Amino acid sequence: MVSSQSVKLGNNTIFYVECCSEGKPWLLLHGLAGSSANWLKFMDLVEKKLDGIHLIAPDLLGHGESSAPKIKYSASLEASIMSDFMANLGYDRFSVIGNSLGGWIAMLLSLQGRVEAEILVDSGGMRLPTVSPLDPKDLDEAMALLSKIFRASSWKTREVASRLMSGRSGSKGYVLQSFLRSEERYLSWEDISRIEVPTLIVWGSEDGLIPLQLGRLLASRIRGSKMIILNGVGHEPMIEDPEGFFIAVSGWMKYS
């Protein structure tokens, strides 16, 4: 059963959900403006179908129910917070699945020597040829952003667009703008090529935010990595097709 918890790290509180408490620890990291809720359907499948796995899905600092202080946000800051978070839970070493911004953070944690294995899902952290607007000003712009994230029409509705807009107001709007203004834009290919942990790269074939060709390039730069392409889904396959995503990653999680 998935349970909700929180821990204090200095002046900040990190909210997280976990399940399947006996087994190898896997940290699940969502993307920019997301939350731990992005992983709930996947976590339910793991709990029902996969033994020996402990899943831990936090809300990144500034996201979900975690604290959102008015500071300068960056992937490096989030990696530092997540390192402290896992140490607080008693884990010096762990494995990680990261989507989008979460993939960027996962690579930083790998470079710090904290990670045993990683799964990078439509990962950020690379220089993009073009950057899609991530801060829509109205429903039409929000609909355009959803068309970049998802392939399935059920996710491209004005109702979903309204929820997306509401999640970008107030303190969450400040966090998003801080990330977008950050001077930390991407990892160098030299840094990426220094990643030595077992790596699985999973990409939605219809990702309109970070295109598949960048996923292929990422796979070519991480020595020994494997790649799985999920046909017909977009930037967040664990949301759009949780069953297909589970099938793609479950073997790697169990045996890596």
Q: Are 195 and 110 in contact (CB under 8 A)?
A: yes
Question: Is the confidence at residue 170, as pLDDT, over 70?
Answer: no
Could you tell me which residue, 136 or 112, shows the higher pLDDT? Answer: 112
Where along the chain do its domains lie?
A: 3-255
> Minimal CA–CA distance to 20: which of 45, 44, 49, 55?
55
What is the side-by-side order of every strand in the sheet holding 199-204?
3-9, 12-19, 53-58, 24-29, 94-99, 115-121, 199-204, 226-230
Q: Are 31 and 236 in contact (CB under 8 A)?
A: yes
Rounded Cα distance, 119 and 219, in Å = 11
Phi-psi group of 55: left, alpha or beta (phi > 0 → left; psi -120 to 50 → alpha; rest → beta): beta
Question: Is the confidence at residue 135, as pLDDT, over 70?
Answer: no
Assign 96 a pLDDT band (cuts: 50, 70, 90).
Answer: very high
Compute how many other C-beta atoms are within 10 angstroms of the C-beta atom of residue 44.
Answer: 15
For residue 115, the surrounding DSSP H or E stretch is strand 115-121
The predicted model gives 163-192 an average pLDDT of: 80
The DSSP symbol for 197 reads: S
> Minimal CA–CA distance to 21: which of 4, 41, 39, 1?
1
pTM: 0.92
Question: Is the confidence at residue 179, as pLDDT, over 90?
Answer: no
What torsion, rounded to 10 degrees, do the Cα atoms 1, 7, 78, 174 define? 100
The per-residue pLDDT of the chain, averaged, comes to 90
Please name the fold of domain 3-255: Rossmann fold (3.40.50)
